[in-house]
Amino acid sequence: MNDLSLATSQVPAHLKGKLDGVGRGNENVGSNIIVPRLKLLQKASNEVDKNHAEYVKGAEVGDFLNGLTKETLTELYCLSLHFKVEWAVWRNIDLGGGYGGSFATETEAKESIAAQEKPEEWSIKENHAHLILLKNPETGALDPSPVIFDLTGAKLATSKAWNSKIGLQGGDRFASLWRISSKAVTSKTGFTYMNIDLDCEGWAQKEDYEAAELLYEQYAQTSYS
């Protein structure tokens, strides 16, 4: 049994009705959890390379990968809870890659690189972290916890466009439902990579909006990276 299989296994009779809420023993956990990050898989992603140790069975270029559960999705339906700019530290992909963490300021990111054994192997990228709440299009159910959807590099323009569209709608950021899919884009230099398409599906349903409101209050004031 893997670490996350309990989430999808059948609940035994003696536990039915007892899995809602915080749960005894978890009172002090608060924000001390890992918020999964979603990754848009590219041709160079380790997860699509069958010869790499990080390969994920069934993962394909253009899929969205949950970094914690390793689940892949071909498209996303979500409410956007919160947004912030981070400065992410990455190891050169030619040297094997590697995520060195995200920081609130570029200065903090530079300090992190300076502390590395080989600082020249690391670089800093501006990252837009979108905290989103996924909705299952088949069942209509919202996930109980949000995930972080990272947009960086060439995808920053798309991120800014998404922010603009949400702002034009007015009201809370999580008042609308969005569909996100992937598409192949060719740069001016002829390099092809995967970017995203955004479509607003309409206003959030009442119960979804209220659930998102509670999660926003829980996460917006914490460091959820």
pLDDT tens per residue across span 173-219:
999 999 999 999 998 888 899 999 999 999 999 999 999 999 998 88
**pTM for the predicted model, two decimal places:** 0.79
219 half-sphere exposure, CB direction, 13 A CA radius? 26
Q: Is the pLDDT of residue 4 over 50?
A: no
Instruction: Round the CA-based radius of gyration of the chain to a whole number and report it.
Output: 19
Residue 37 burial (10 A CB sphere; 0-12, 13-18, 19+): middle
Put residue 43 in one of left, alpha, beta given phi > 0 → left and psi -120 to 50 → alpha.
alpha
pLDDT for the residue 5? 47
What is the residue-averaged pLDDT of the chain? 86
- What's the CA gap between 124 and 110, in Å, rounded? 8
Q: Is the pLDDT of residue 32 over 60?
A: no
pLDDT for the residue 35? 84
pLDDT band with cut points at 50, 70 and 90 for residue 113: very high
Burial pattern 139-155, b for ≥16 Cβ within 10 A else e, equals eeebeeebbbbbbeeeb
Using one digit for the tens of pLDDT, what is the confidence trace for 125-144?
A: 899 999 999 999 999 999 99
The fraction of the chain above a pLDDT of 70, given in percent, is: 85
